[in-house]
Structure 1
């Protein structure tokens, strides 16, 4: 590997991160109590425009907690896109419910509302909309389907912090929504997540389950089987410092996508486009090769040039534990076999983008 080693992601930990973390250490408030937990929750809720936000230790448990709060369990079906990271599908399985996979829209890569309609059965309890790579789902269509069939609507916004649909933030359309703050997310706490809702009862249920099922008015008395899903004060301190710079980080990531678009124009490469009436936060800048057979050779050429990439997520219905009732989802499969995530961290320089674009152009010219 040569000297131009460019990772696919690197968090930006500037701002008040060190000062806030040092305050936790100096005060000895390093676990799940301390001022930063409540401040981060309140600030996050205000930023995206919801009433309630409950912090948790990672994005996967946020999904589990959201489904628990809704009472999802054995015998229920939850509709979910197959083109997704595996976490939302696993969270459905944790509850004992059955994930039901649907295909994607070719235009936006998000779950196809008409395919959602086709998969509703008497056992369907919820639609779990995953906002993929920073683009939002068609929330008007999904919300209408949920109302028509009296289904819960859950939003997985792990990849969509800062994304908007019709002027509203992702996470404000469903009954309940979740976020991830893993190290490669737009804002990070290292590991962490958030469950958000406008429903007071759902917020109380989520908080009850995440704190070991501790009863509200009796010390060390537990009245449900709960979980230790709490966020630490140190993680919340990092999150609050990150949130203070959220607008700056999102603007830099959107500019990064625009720079890629300019430099890759004219090549046989398709960038993940911003859908109408949305703001794509470009958690990952992603491209499609013309043919599936070109994807891995292009990735190998970029690796040789010192550039790390990732493939798009493999459709979950193709994985052994979820292939019991295998069926084709042609759009999701086509996208997955042709897609690549490019380096997408906000500190990526123009020189580095030039190097990536030049490497892609060189590969395309050799393969023509």
Structure 2
């Protein structure tokens, strides 16, 4: 290929540019602008929750969500071991105890059986994250959480638009969080959202994202909050992109299916298929797992080789129990996270931009098959 193919390029259309340009000319650029509330309203309706709270990032969404629960120091929260570090940081910043669960080898979500078995009387909340391709079976976990009075936080950052048995991901959680980073289904550059059916929680979260200004005297703050607001400019871009979310999902699935057809016959790698018994693959990223250790190639080595062919890659997540920044905290007594460790060493993902052309997909697959033949 004549040009380098990055892991992701955001798709910004003329209508996006015109919408943002119009709102900038109006002068409504801060979080006080009307499009923030409008974005919240339309996003909540799309997900199927009654309330939505716009914030500055997916990480901010998790931090605000956890703090809004008013859990006591030492309360236990179950979370995936294989994920981005944001969920762990949100828990430990509140002085809570976190219990990590290993992932499955082939769908990459935290293991459902291990999650259920790890629940104790001390468990107050579970963060269930949908990872990369297929959703976590949160529909099953939800029923258990309801029986045991455990708060279910659904981290839907990577799978906006995906469904489990025709019910949207993000609609299962007592609280659900989303990200609008540049590589997500819809983007606001940076940004995130929290949704819930609990009106009191929503009001609490709106206060926390906005420095917890005093209700009686504005600058006499009620508690420790953050400036995690979303600007009117970002919300305007989000509104514009949300209009074509169904088209975006179709493009992702179509591109992912083409990757699958090109790569699935290679026995040295594993790539998730287009669908399973309960869901379609969202193909947020085109994730691959090297299955043949005798090739003596891991994700770092193949990244270097693919870069020589003008193809960008990213390694899979680094598991929480091996994070150098967390090791001194001794968060986990267990050392049995073999799937997380395997995915970390042998997992990587390929370019998945909405702007990818078929010839670029075929080229990428041809090079991967050549290296991993």
Q: TM-score range by the shorter chain?
A: over 0.9
**1:207 matches 2:210:** no
Work out the CA distance in 2 between the residues paired with 1:123 and 1:172: 25
Q: Is the 8 A contact 1:83 1:313 kept in 2?
A: yes
Aligned counterparts of 2:272 and 2:78: Cα–Cα separation in 1: 24
Superposed, which structure 2 residues align to 1:69-108 within 5 Å? 69-108=68-107
Q: What is the CA distance between 1:209 and its match in structure 2?
A: 1.3
Measured after TM superposition, the shift of residue 191 of structure 1 is 0.5
Q: How far apart, CA to CA, are the structure 2 residues paired with 1:246 and 1:15?
A: 16
Match of 1:344 in 2: 352
User: Which consecutive unaligned segments of at least 5 residues does structure 1 have?
Assistant: none
- CA change 1:65–1:363 in 2 (3 A) is same
User: What corresponds to 1:4 in structure 2?
Assistant: 3
* 8 Å CA contact retained: 1:15, 1:242: no
Residue 282 of structure 1: aligned partner: 283
Aligned to 2:303: 299
Q: CA deviation at 1:137?
A: 0.6
Report the CA distance between 1:195 and its aligned residue: 0.5
Q: How far is the alpha carbon of 1:62 from its aligned partner?
A: 0.4
Which deviates more from structure 2 when the two are superposed, residues 212-221 or residues 18-27?
212-221
Offset at 1:96?
A: 1.4
Aligned residue for 1:256? 255
Equivalent residues in 2 for 1:201-280, closer than 5 Å:
201-216=200-215, 219-268=218-267, 269-273=269-273, 274-280=275-281
Distance 1:67 1:275, change over 3 A: farther
Task: State the Cα distance separating 1:220 from its structure 2 match.
Answer: 4.1
**Relative to structure 2, which stretch is displaced further, 346-355 or 12-21?**
12-21
Aligned length: 364
- 2:162 counterpart of 1:158: no
Whether the 8 Å contact between 1:60 and 1:88 is mirrored in structure 2 is yes
Residue equivalent to 1:18: 17
CA drift at 1:291 = 3.2
- Which one is further off, 251-260 or 271-280? 271-280
**SS of the residue aligned with 1:208?**
helix
Answer whether contact 1:51 1:197 (CA < 8 A) is retained: yes
Give CA deviations for 1:29-60 in whole Å, capped at 9, x if unaligned: 11111121111111111112111111001110
Taking the TM superposition and a 5 Å limit, the aligned residue runs for 1:41-190 are 41-190=40-189
* CA-CA distance at 1:326 after TM superposition: 4.9
Q: Deviations over 1:65-120 (max 9, x none)?
A: 11112223421111011110111111111211122100112342111121113322
Query: CA contact under 8 A between 2:116 and 2:141: conserved in structure 1?
Result: no
Residues 214 and 223 in structure 1, CA contact (< 8 A), matched pair in contact too: yes
Q: RMSD in angstroms over aligned alpha carbons? A: 1.7
Contact 1:4 1:305 in 2 (8 A): no
CA contact (8 A) 1:136 1:278 kept: yes
Residue number among 313, 320, 326 corresponding to 2:317 in the alignment:
313
Structure 1 residue 180 displacement after superposition:
0.5
Specify the alignment match of 2:338 in structure 1.
330
What's the CA shift for 1:219? Answer: 4.3
Question: 2:107 touches 2:133 (CA, 8 Å); kept in 1?
Answer: no
Structure 2 alignment gaps of length 5 or more = none
